[in-house]
Structure 1
Amino acid sequence: MIIINNFIEYKALEGKVIGTSGWHTIDQAQIDRFAEATLDYQWIHTDKEKAEREGPFKSTIAHGYLTLSLIPYLWKQIAEVKNVKMEINYGIENFKFGQAVPVDSDVKLQATVKSVTDLRGTIKVMVEAKLLIKDCSKPAYVGDVIFLYHFI
């Protein structure tokens, strides 16, 4: 894990792959909880028998937005940003889902700091987020997440 204490240290990471998280298994229980939370019960996610019988992946798959929602959890395994009084998830840009994530897959996040900008005391950081799937050459997604930091 990398520790970032201030704007200068963040700026020094610009353009660099700063690390990957640990592996996280997405099981059916997590998929079902996400379906319940979002009211998205599409059978490809929640009906194991139908997915095995009729689905293109022969199993249920994680919701794309479930995989996206793992970014804050996995990001905290890559970087610890200290000396902040507030951190805001500001936005996402240029996101593409490139590969379905079958149930019981192990995934991990790879993060690259693309840009660090001081906006009159608010630090805007764009990080390329790439979700890797164990034993799969194609990532589940690639896109940019934007964080705002107010350092102490």
Structure 2
Amino acid sequence: MSQITIGSFEDFEKFIGQELGTSDYHQITQSQINKFADATIDHQWIHTDPERAKAEGSFGDTIAHGYLTLSLVPYLWDQIVRVENLKMMVNYGIENLRFAQAVLVNNEVRLSANLKNVVNLRGTIKAEVNVKLEIKDQRKPAFTGVLVFLYHFG
């Protein structure tokens, strides 16, 4: 994995319409699922009860919360793009988010990103990034969408 370095609007502009990269794989463990369940107070058995999930669930095992997979974006995004000269970054929105396939416990996921557009809004940089969370050895991704970030450079 090679990381792209961005330090200005002009740096971003060079990548419009291009693949930015792909993160390393990250394995989703039952411990991580359980901690996310505790943090979000979402203890639905398809996430937290391996025995019941194997016996009664339609996936054959526990699955990660969709929002757990989404919450990995900052960690995985930082593996793709290193932003320098930054005062502040704000997660501004998510457009067209679709959860396409469940992520089973112990699956490995990685983020791939393509820069859709970047706009200079009077010094605040709005970056729209097409993302896909790929599941190792699976054809369908866990999710797809467009992430919108606001960057304030120093």
Percent of residue pairs identical: 57
**How many Å separate the matches in 2 of 1:84 and 1:63?**
31
* Structure 1 vs Structure 2 CA RMSD: 0.5
Listed as ranges, the gaps of 5+ residues in structure 1 are none
Residue 91 (str. 1) matches residue 114 (str. 2): no
Taking structure 2 as the reference length, the TM-score comes to 0.98
Aligned match for 2:141, one of 139, 142, 145 = 139
Aligned match for 1:124, one of 123, 126, 150 = 126
The equivalences for 1:22-101 within 5 A come to 22-101=24-103
1:43-99 Cα deviation digits (max 9, x unpaired): 000010010001111000000000000000000000001111111111111000000
2:16: which partner in 1? Answer: 14
**How many Å separate the matches in 2 of 1:148 and 1:2?**
18
Report the 3-state secondary structure (helix = DSSP H, G, I; strand = E; otherwise coil) of the residue aligned with 1:131.
strand
Report the 3-state secondary structure (helix = DSSP H, G, I; strand = E; otherwise coil) of the residue aligned with 1:32.
helix
Listed as ranges, the gaps of 5+ residues in structure 2 are none
> Which residue identity is paired with 1:48?
P
Report the 3-state secondary structure (helix = DSSP H, G, I; strand = E; otherwise coil) of the residue aligned with 1:58.
coil
| Structure 1 residue ranges, 4+ long, deviating more than 3 angstroms after superposition | none
Taking structure 1 as the reference length, the TM-score comes to 0.99
1:104: which partner in 2? Answer: 106
